[in-house]
Chain A
Amino acid sequence: MRLPDGVRRLLRIGLGRSDLRRDLDDEIGFHIAQSVDDFVRAGMTEEEALTRSRTRFGDERAYRAALERIDGNRVRTRERGEAMDSIARTLSRTLRGIRRSPGFTFSIVLILALGIGANAVMFGVVDRLLLSPPQHVVDAHDVRHLYVRREIFNGEITVGSTITYPDYGDFRSVEAFADVGAYHPPQRTTVGRGDEAAQARVSMATASLFGLLGAQPAVGRFFTDEDDVAGAEPTAVLAHEYRERAFGGADVLGRRVDVGGGSYTVIGVAPPGFTGATLEPVDIWVPLTVAETIESGDDWVDNRGWYFVHAVARLAPGATLEAAEAEATAAHRAGRAEMIEQDRYDESAEVVVAPIILANGPRPTSEAQVARWLAGVSLIVLLIACLNVANLLLARAIRARREIAVRLALGVGRRRLVAELVAESVVLATLGAGAALLLAYAFSGPVHRVLLPDVSFTDAGLGGRLLGFTGLVALGTGLIAGLIPARTASKADLADALKAGGRGLAGGGSRARVALLVGQAALSVVLLVGAGLFVRSLRSASDLDLGFDARNVVVLDLEWNETLPAEERQALYEEALDRVRRLPPVRNAALSYTIPFWSSIGLGQPRVPGLDSIPRHHNGGPYVNKIGSGYFEAMGLAILQGRGFVPADDAEEAAPVTVLSESMARAIWPGGDALGACMLIGDSDDYDGAEVPCTEVVGVVENHRRQELVEDDPHFLYFLNQHHLAFRGPPQAIMAGIDGQAGPVVDLLREEVAATSSQIRFVNALALRDRVEPQLRSWRLGASMFTAFGLLALVVAGWGLYSVLAFDVALRQHELGIRSALGAASPTLVRLVLKRAVALIVIGTGIGLVISWGAAGWVEPLLFDVSATDPWVYALVAVVLLAVAALAGSLPAWRASRVDPREALQTE
């Protein structure tokens, strides 16, 4: 069977081996036949003639083989040449096109650069948070974080990664684990003394952690088991980056570094980018046993209530996850058998052996969840960019319709045309990708630093993975953006196109362009709705009434050069307080024992004479704070009933008084008659054996948050500074209420306090707001990136709308000219153009709103106090889109109104 020629040419069958052989058969057959004829004519018999002809030809089989080889070579050479030619021709056409219309090229490359760049930036984030294990972890698949799933209060289940040191010991006996390590996440700790004192992120880790992860030190060594026992000489390992920053890269081995309350000898430097088992940057590593003993004594060693470490394990060769979980669970329950027996621990507690990548574990950070969303969002941005570029290329293909039709008529294959259009868009996408990498390079750093300050990104520069990713995205983008117009353009009807030329009314491809435009508008709407929801979430989270005025309070806490007696610390705090109070921006200042969002102290349930018991708060407490007078004013907490503390309350012989938070007062005295009531706090031990005195409630103060943005108002009791015997010890902080924003005066306050005494090693000064800030981070990340991507999408879509309308007007100049000549007034023509713009956007917006509405359920868990179907956000987005449509339509509309009929009709 012979295939039709067109198909054969397409499949290149015509040049195949079998055809060459047939040609050869024909050629040699003709030769022999001709020769036989001649011999016969000369008088031979047919038989003689054939023999003679064969002899003359020579060894036919050998010659045939030689000829086939030669012909095969010839065809191959030609095919290669043609392929090279066609690529070269396509490329040179493309480059010519690019040179011919630099503006067009520029806008396409810019759009692609933005779309691809957004993805490259997000890829860096996603790769770090969701795809890659922490750096320097060898065979990361076998390294697992350990969690404990257990019931805490009335049926509430938690999955926690904080365990006690004895729990860690239990895990070390599990045979399914080749090794187990424990660490305490990095904490800001004062390093150095005197003028050189500064804060660094210090992480405590067991010696086993380093070997377990598989990391190799850059200099010196990591800890050995001998470094990690109580009483060992304190040693420290510095992060490579910290050595660069703090020591200028100098040789640090053997140096002594004062970290917190201890003095450590540097024995090694970690490799660049090493952050242990998590992504949080660490400056200094210290051995867990030594450091915790220095800071906290030795209560923690066998205390199953002292939760402070996280455990990491490497699976033993051949061990399955299930077996490891079962064995670890058994070990955990055995270790806590006594507590379980006494009903103080959940008997069905289970150990979860989870991936090293925290985002894939049972407790992903909210940043990781938002990052997942943002990755999707950046793909939408890219899709919009693709649609837009497809639209622009299509518009141009339509303008070039006559040229295309002529080329088709001249026999240029449609395949060629499609190949050219696709090649063009791939070249453009490659240019765009180059620009995108520059953008990614410029923007990645700030995005990482500002939005994800607790993630180490040293690895996520322009690595090979990013290049590979960007290359793939560029290729995919080029193919998609090129194929859409190529399909439409190559389907053009020859005769039609030749007749109409570049004129015609809404011609072929117009429907495709409308669809592309509507699609862009819809996707932009989705992104903008997302942006709106996150911005509102951030607003409501940061405007949340925490009780105190977080924006107007500076918290100052002091560290000492050496261990000072409590009285001296008290005296120095009071001296520092006096100096702070004298500073002009300080409205009021007071001492405090605890700091919201940082520390709190729970108190045993007080007793009230006449009541059997007082209601418990389900989140624990009540919490107690010992404060100086002026605390409520400094914090901006309003007295709701009675009074705050007055100096007279602090007198030696004054009767003990307390102020309660509104929630606590209401819980005990629902009728509101708390004032004047008597509370018995603590037991006689707290009063050196004396009878527990009656503490009178003198006031009720506004509620405030303890440690979460959202929590049921905790129960608080306040005592006056020196007064209450149940709470001895010096204050922990000065709370300074500021007139105006706290941020700008933090340094001023720090210097003033530091000047108080040479005994002060370090003044930790922070706006109270900054202690709350980390809890806002996921919304800030969502709000800023959604907004950035949403605006990007809007600009790209608006630009797309404009270019399509402008192009329409240019294309319809003829028609508009005729209308104008027939007497259509300018406003009519303007309306004609604008109506189209608005219609397209309205359809797109409608679709986008419906999609957003449908997706609302998924995004809702990430929002704060905003409904995912918030009507205001939807309405605002719709208005914005309409405004953009009007804006994008106005210039083309104005041009349409200025069409000069004579000129328009002469253009052909």
Chain B
Amino acid sequence: MARRHMSLLQGTLDVLVLKAVAGEPRHGYAVAEWIRRTTDGTLDIEDGALYTSLHRMQQRGWLDAVWGVSENNRRAKYYDLTAAGRSELARASGDWARYAEAVFKVLATSEGT
């Protein structure tokens, strides 16, 4: 079966990125890899869009960025959640869960089919 790529809903990317750096500070490439790995490559995200999201959230104060050294000794920019970013993640995850639940409920009913 050919794998189907899903394009991303507006604003969804941010919450994925927040989640990606929630566990530990990650650089942009690591964030991209983490999302790809976690979703089994289902979501088709251009890496550039990822960076747009990272920088925008840095501007909003949800992410902090510091320059560090990567696993293979390259200079890399690491992103970390700020307190504001953590509460944004909590809020956005909650919204998502309720949203998905609602959609799922609708789809799961047998009436209408």
Contact = CB atoms under 8 A, between A and B. Distances in A.
Interface of A: 23, 26-28, 30-31, 33-35, 37-38, 56-60, 62-63, 66-67, 70-71, 73-74, 77
A650 to B, nearest CB: 110
B47 A57 contact: yes
Closest 7 CB pairs of A and B: A58-B46, A63-B48, A58-B48, A74-B59, A57-B47, A34-B29, A70-B55
A466 B8 CA distance: 67
B48 A71 contact: no
Nearest to A54: B47
A37 B33 CA distance: 13
B19 interface: no
Contacts of A38: 33
A60 B49 CA distance: 10
B31 to A, nearest CB: 10
B74 to A, nearest CB: 6
Interface in B10-65: 27-29, 32-33, 46-49, 51-52, 55-56, 58-59
13 contacts: A27-B51, A30-B28, A30-B74, A30-B75, A31-B27, A31-B51, A33-B74, A34-B72, A35-B29, A59-B48, A70-B55, A70-B56, A74-B58
B76 interface: yes
A60 B52 CA distance: 11
A69 to B, nearest CB: 9
Contact of B51 (A26, A33, A37, A67): A67
Contact of B29 (A23, A31, A71, A77): A31
Contact of B52 (A26, A27, A30, A67): A67
A63 B52 contact: yes
Given A23-B77, A30-B29, A58 B55 contact: no
A60 B48 contact: yes
A6 B52 CA distance: 32
A274 B96 CA distance: 80
Given A23-B77, A31-B47, A70-B58, 19 more contacts: A26-B75, A27-B77, A30-B27, A30-B28, A30-B70, A30-B74, A31-B29, A34-B72, A34-B74, A57-B46, A57-B47, A58-B49, A59-B48, A60-B48, A62-B48, A63-B49, A63-B52, A66-B52, A70-B52
B75 A31 contact: no
B6 to A, nearest CB: 16
Contacts of B58: 70, 74
A34 B70 contact: yes
A73 B29 CA distance: 24
Contacts of B74: 30, 33-34
B28 A27 contact: yes
Contact of B59 (A35, A59, A70): A70
A609 to B, nearest CB: 116
Nearest to B55: A70
Interface in B70-86: 70, 72, 74-77
Nearest to A73: B59
Nearest to A57: B47
Nearest to B27: A30
A66 B54 CA distance: 12
Contacts of B76: 27, 30
Interface of B: 27-29, 32-33, 46-49, 51-52, 55-56, 58-59, 70, 72, 74-77
Contacts of A34: 29, 70, 72, 74
A57 B44 CA distance: 11
Nearest to B28: A31
Contact of A57 (B33, B48, B70, B72): B48
Which of B28, B48, B74 counts the most chain A CB atoms within 10 A?
Answer: B48
Contacts of A56: 46-47
B77 A26 contact: yes
Contacts of B29: 30-31, 34-35
Nearest to A77: B59
A66 B76 CA distance: 20
Contacts of B46: 56-58, 63
Nearest to A30: B76
Contacts of B56: 70
A62 to B, nearest CB: 7
A63 B72 CA distance: 26
A63 B59 contact: no
Nearest to B31: A31
B106 to A, nearest CB: 33
A38 B70 CA distance: 14
Contacts of A71: 55, 59
Contacts of B51: 27-28, 31, 63, 67
A626 B46 CA distance: 119
Contacts of B72: 34, 37
Which of B28, B47, B75 counts the most chain A CB atoms within 10 A?
Answer: B47
Nearest to A55: B46
A49 to B, nearest CB: 14
A62 B49 CA distance: 10
Contacts of A27: 28, 51, 76-77
B79 to A, nearest CB: 10
Which of B27, B49, B52 counts the most chain A CB atoms within 10 A?
Answer: B52
Contacts of A23: 77
A67 B77 CA distance: 14
B86 to A, nearest CB: 20
Given A30-B74, A34-B29, A67 B59 contact: no
A73 B72 CA distance: 32
Contacts of A58: 46-49
Contacts of B77: 23, 26-27, 30
A75 to B, nearest CB: 9
Nearest to A70: B55
B43 to A, nearest CB: 13
A481 to B, nearest CB: 41
Contacts of B28: 27, 30-31
A79 to B, nearest CB: 13
A26 B29 CA distance: 12
B53 to A, nearest CB: 10
B24 to A, nearest CB: 17
A53 to B, nearest CB: 8
A62 B52 CA distance: 10
A56 B72 CA distance: 22
A821 B28 CA distance: 72
Contacts of B27: 30-31
A475 B33 CA distance: 60
Contacts of A74: 55, 58-59
B58 to A, nearest CB: 6
B95 to A, nearest CB: 24
Nearest to A63: B48
Nearest to B57: A70
Nearest to A71: B55
Contacts of B59: 70-71, 73-74, 77
A57 B50 CA distance: 9
B49 to A, nearest CB: 7
A26 B65 CA distance: 14
Contacts of A26: 75, 77
B57 to A, nearest CB: 10
Contacts of B33: 38
B99 to A, nearest CB: 27
Nearest to A72: B59
A63 to B, nearest CB: 3
Contacts of A62: 48
A96 B29 CA distance: 50
Contacts of B75: 26, 30
B71 to A, nearest CB: 9
Contacts of A77: 59
Nearest to A62: B48
A37 B46 CA distance: 18
Contacts of B48: 57-60, 62-63
B110 to A, nearest CB: 41
A31 B77 CA distance: 10
Which of B29, B56, B72, B75 counts the most chain A CB atoms within 10 A?
Answer: B29
